[in-house]
Amino acid sequence: MSNMTTIYLVRHGQTEWNVKDLLQGVSDSPLTEKGVDEIKKLAKELSKIQFDLIFSSDLLRAKKTAEILALEHNLTVETTKLLRERFFGHLEGKSNDEYRKWAKAFKDLTDKERFSAKISTDIESDEEIVTRLIQFLREIAIGNPGKKILAVSHGGLIKSFLIHLGFATYKEIRMIGNGGYVKLESDGTDFFIKEVKNVNFYEK
């Protein structure tokens, strides 16, 4: 049996704040009817995979998503703050346009510079959120060699992780759609992308 751990990193279903284009961060907004339906559909797509464990961000939108997915596998959901979305500080609950205005200051930075840059002292940088995600992934991979893990997280976090891995640049990748996922294999040190679903790119 392979010692590589397989991890499906999933974005939660659509929420009410997604529809309103508001920054959620660590604030909570319930799944919409559409959000529940798209995760039920994903659950059926993944139903033939024998997951050993299911983890989730402790934020309610992710936990609800994980619980829907867990029903297909008769597993309980374990939550962790390491899978949380970026903390947006004073911009939490504001329009995404507000964040985009601040982010314009990054447009001339290299990807390496942008990764560690902070828009504001109270907003987590990409480096900060990816560091905690990698901590979670490495601990899970080392502790569960050869197993299949489902982990529900958030779009901003997954996007930043893909950029960190070199999958795409800031100018290429737009967002991870609701219910989208990245399938990874890891030995606890390295990460190998095996599949991506519902990852959206900017038009060239």
- The residues carrying an active-site annotation are 12, 85
C-alpha 122, offset from chain centre = 20
In this structure, are residues 64 and 35 in contact, taking their beta carbons and an 8 Å threshold? no
Separation of alpha carbons 3 and 128, rounded Å: 28
Question: CB count, 10 Å around CB of 202?
Answer: 12
- Any residues with CB less than 8 A from the CB of 142 and at least 6 apart, and which? 188
Separation of alpha carbons 66 and 56, rounded Å: 6
Tokens of 183: 């399938």
